[in-house]
Amino acid sequence: MRISLIVPSFYPATVYGGPIYSTLHTCEALAKIQDVVVHVSTTNANMDSRLDVKIGQWQKFEEYFFVKYYNETKINIISLSLFFNVWKDIKNTDVVHAQYMFSSSTPIALIYAKILKKPVILSPRGALCKWCLAQGSQFKYLWLRFLIKPFSSHVLWHATAEQEKQDILLHFPHAKVKTVPNGIEYEKFQTYSRLSPIAFCKKFAKETIEADKIIVSMGRLFKVKGFDILIDSFFKVLNQYPNTVLFIAGPDEGEGENLIKQIKDLALENKVFLVGSVQGQDKIDFLANADLFALPSHTENFGNVYIESLAAGTPIVASTGTPWEEVEFVGCGKWVDNNIIDTSNAIIEMLARDRIGMRYKAKRLAKKYDWENIALQFKNLYEKVC
């Protein structure tokens, strides 16, 4: 089975965040399955620049996993090279899998797939949630009406969670939708360096701080992540747990200055630390040594960092704008509205629980999201449309 994945950006364009990694790992896991060959057609877009990669040639990532980068003529808008040539990639495939909504690569893939009579799977990747559609102009609704809707009944839609499935059905009531979650490299998160609170603070804040509890969060410093809510919530938590510190990791994408001002206004300079991007083994150590992970995001179609925290054995506080309700049932987290009161109360409750017991429950939940299991679900999805 030959899969043609059409995406506007791909690894190593990590500036776009979690979806880049989840797409990469999906392809890697799929390529390990017998009789599955993955070909990714993408562009060299890298936010405000272009990737330094070979253009227009298949490059081998794994034994049965290949990537071709097309030059992005106008970054984040269109690749004329992809427009005129990607039909050749689609022509020899069994299934076309297009990802994202508001990228020119998606309608291009849909048009060519229809002409060439290829079955299609379409993944919105969170673009249809209410919060996302509210950002920007009405052009998004015109895009959906004229460039997506004509094909909506001819594709099998892929959602990463029940919440995203409902978002799809809200806009396309007759859509056929199947749910396959993102995954995680579970074993990768099982080895970490044990750090005392003092050592943790020294490593990530470059300061000697005596703390009883450590709360961490992670994500691009962007309004959608709700870090302002987290900081205000943390301020209330200090009334009950005064020797607690909060570390927020992630690259600044426009919200950093506002968060720094908020921290200063609340006099939390010695309690809240923005530590920039944390990658590799440092990321695992960052998550595994914390008492709690909290991220009151306004919306996430999946939210890889939540499952990464669970895999590292750290319980979470997630907002109802994310699909992580099951942590409530498993007993390794809270799923609450992303307002200050509910978030602060959830954090206080979680800090009072048995940390050792929650570590076991978090890992048990994360295990089922291992990429090997997710890849098999995707294979079944592809077989349904062939």
Positions in the chain short of pLDDT 50: none
Query: What values do phi and psi take at 14, rounded to 5?
Result: -70, -10
Question: pLDDT at position 134, please?
Answer: 83
Question: Which residue in 383, 386, 379 sits closest to 27, CA to CA?
Answer: 379
Question: pLDDT at position 385, please?
Answer: 92
| Distance (Å, whole) CA 271 – CA 263 | 9
| Distance (Å, whole) CA 106 – CA 92 | 18
- Adjacent-strand bridge partners of 244: 213
Phi-psi bin for 299: left (phi > 0), alpha (psi -120 to 50), beta? beta
All structural domains of the chain with their residue ranges: 2-183+370-385, 187-367
Query: What residues contact residue 357 under an 8 Å CB cut-off, 6+ apart?
Result: 331
Question: pLDDT at position 19, please?
Answer: 86
CATH superfamily, domain at 2-183+370-385: Glycogen Phosphorylase B; (3.40.50.2000)
Question: Which residue in 140, 174, 176 sits closest to 158, CA to CA?
Answer: 176
Question: pLDDT at position 131, please?
Answer: 82
pLDDT, tens digit, for every residue of 279-333?
A: 999 999 999 999 999 999 998 888 899 999 999 999 999 999 999 999 999 999 9
Q: Which pTM value belongs to this model?
A: 0.84
pLDDT, tens digit, for every residue of 49-101?
A: 999 999 999 999 999 999 999 999 998 889 999 999 999 999 999 999 999 99
| Distance (Å, whole) CA 41 – CA 89 | 7
The answer to whether the 2-183+370-385 and 187-367 domains have the same CATH topology is: yes
Taking domain 187-367, whether its CATH number is 3.40.50.970 is answered by no
Question: pLDDT at position 17, please?
Answer: 81
Question: pLDDT at position 294, please?
Answer: 98
- DSSP class per residue in 307-320: HHHHHTT--EEEET
- Max CA pair span of the chain: 65
Question: pLDDT at position 73, please?
Answer: 94
User: How many CA within 13 A on the CB side of residue 362?
Assistant: 29
Question: pLDDT at position 135, please?
Answer: 77
